[in-house]
Amino acid sequence: MPDDSEVTQLLQAWRRGEALAVEKLTPIVYQELHRLARGAFRRERADHTLQPTALVHEAFLQLVGADVDWQSRAHFFALAARQMRHILVNHAHAKRTAKRGGASIAVPLDEAEEIAGSQVTGVTDIDDALTRLAEFDERKSRILELHYFGGLTYEEMAEALGLSSTTLHNELRLAKSWLRRQLE
């Protein structure tokens, strides 16, 4: 597995249009995106119509087409987390619409069950809460997005957001507490 600086260099070469960089980068980021997607579906129903591989493909296609100046590996996966969040939310909304106003489908994310207690929490519930949080604290909303939808490590989240580990830990603890209250 290449180190972070090599991945960053490949991302920047990709941005410059170097085709060889894309060839080298694709299996690396695909593997990592698949790990993140599997985490998002860890407690998902077996019969869910959206599978981790489909989520990876959709997110990767959107990222390939994005006009972004990739700053680092963490930056790439932070944007991947945002794309996965939007894809899951859009899928949940489409499913609910197809059922003519039925209840939100349950798409529990990593730790969502723990945060919500015994209540089953859907991806749309978490998305709505993160949107409300962003209205008054964008940084905490981004931290939760990276944590739940991106599965980034504390170090990756701190790098992507330009925070110290201590600040990230404190902000995440407060954000989780706020989210728990919102979902109860």
Walk along the chain (184 residues) in steps of 10 and give the mean pLDDT of each run. 78 85 86 79 61 84 80 84 84 67 45 44 81 93 86 83 92 92 86
How many domains does the chain divide into?
1
- The residue range of the domain holding 78 is 4-183
First CA to last CA distance, the chain: 41
Are residues 64 and 151 in contact, defined by beta-carbon separation less than 8 angstroms?
A: no
Separation CA 155–CA 123 (nearest Å): 25
Looking up tokens 């919500």 gives 116
pLDDT the model gives residue 1: 55
The answer to whether residues 139 and 125 touch, using CB atoms and an 8 Å cutoff, is no
Provide the b/e sequence for 19-49 (b: ≥16 CB within 10 Å).
Answer: eebeebbeebbeebbbebbbbbbeebeeeee
pLDDT for 99: 58
Q: Please state, in angstroms and rounded to a whole number, the distance separating the CA atoms of residues 128 and 132.
A: 6
Tell me if 124 sits within 8 A of 93, measured CB to CB: yes
